[in-house]
């Protein structure tokens, strides 16, 4: 057997080994089912389980009831974007505002807070350990800042609007500075298709 034939046989063997040991794990990785961003939060109406909201697009924002301009501006724009949707499209969107201030916020205080922007926004809280897990599932971060002399404090946090599609998969994060028109357009793009009557 010549050196060239031996060399070619070794190349073929290496390629076959690569196919067996590399291709299969890669194909499993790319064909794996997307992870759902399921969660359970506390609201003034009781536990909110995202699995009960299948069929709706979820627009999730982090905020807290003592947050002033930075949260108010974002939530007001989100509410304005929601109002630009048709009644059918609006009925398929659930806006959930999650508190990053578990020391002060309650489900009732969050419900009062979000009602200022839109009557059907959902204000939600979670225990600190559950909030950590929830935020990490969206790669979001928050941090309680040092208290002022009067005991007041801010909570620094991510400001995008996170979108979860109708089957429970995270699909995008909207920049906090989008206009209401841009927010409405982004929400419309994620809505499930209207199935024509059969």
Instruction: Give average pLDDT by consecutive 10-residue segment, the chain, 198 residues.
Output: 66 55 44 64 97 96 91 95 96 97 97 94 97 93 94 92 94 93 96 64
Cα 50 from Cα 54, distance rounded (Å): 7
Q: Could you tell me the CA-to-CA distances from 150 to 49, 81, 101, 103 in Å, in that order? A: 37, 37, 17, 16
pLDDT of residue 60: 97
Cα 39 from Cα 21, distance rounded (Å): 36
pLDDT of residue 194: 62
Structure tokens at 99: 């508190």
* Per-residue pLDDT reduced to its tens digit, 90-132: 999 999 999 999 999 999 999 999 999 998 999 999 999 999 9
pTM here is 0.79
At residue 64, what are phi and psi to the nearest 5 degrees?
Answer: -160, 155
Q: Check if the beta carbon of residue 42 is closer than 8 Å to that of residue 124.
A: yes
């Amino acid at each position: 057997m010549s050196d060239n034939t031996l060399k070619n046989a070794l190349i073929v063997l290496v390629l076959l080994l690569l196919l067996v040991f590399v291709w299969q794990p890669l194909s499993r990785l790319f064909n794996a089912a997307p992870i759902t961003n399921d969660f359970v939060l506390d609201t003034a109406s009781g536990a909110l389980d995202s699995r009960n909201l299948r069929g709706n697009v979820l627009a999730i924002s982090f905020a807290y009831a003592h947050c002033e301009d930075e949260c108010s501006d974002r939530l007001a724009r989100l509410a304005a974007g929601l109002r630009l949707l048709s009644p059918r499209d609006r009925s398929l969107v659930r806006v959930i505002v999650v508190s990053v201030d578990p020391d002060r916020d309650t489900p009732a205080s969050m419900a009062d807070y979000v009602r200022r922007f839109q009557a059907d926004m959902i204000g939600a809280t979670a225990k600190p350990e559950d909030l950590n897990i929830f935020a990490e599932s969206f790669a979001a971060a928050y941090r309680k800042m040092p208290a002022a002399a009067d005991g007041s404090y801010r909570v620094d946090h991510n400001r995008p609007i996170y979108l979860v599609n109708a089957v429970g998969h995270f699909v995008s994060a909207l920049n906090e500075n989008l206009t209401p028109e841009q927010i409405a357009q982004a929400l419309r793009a994620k809505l499930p298709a209207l199935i024509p009557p059969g």
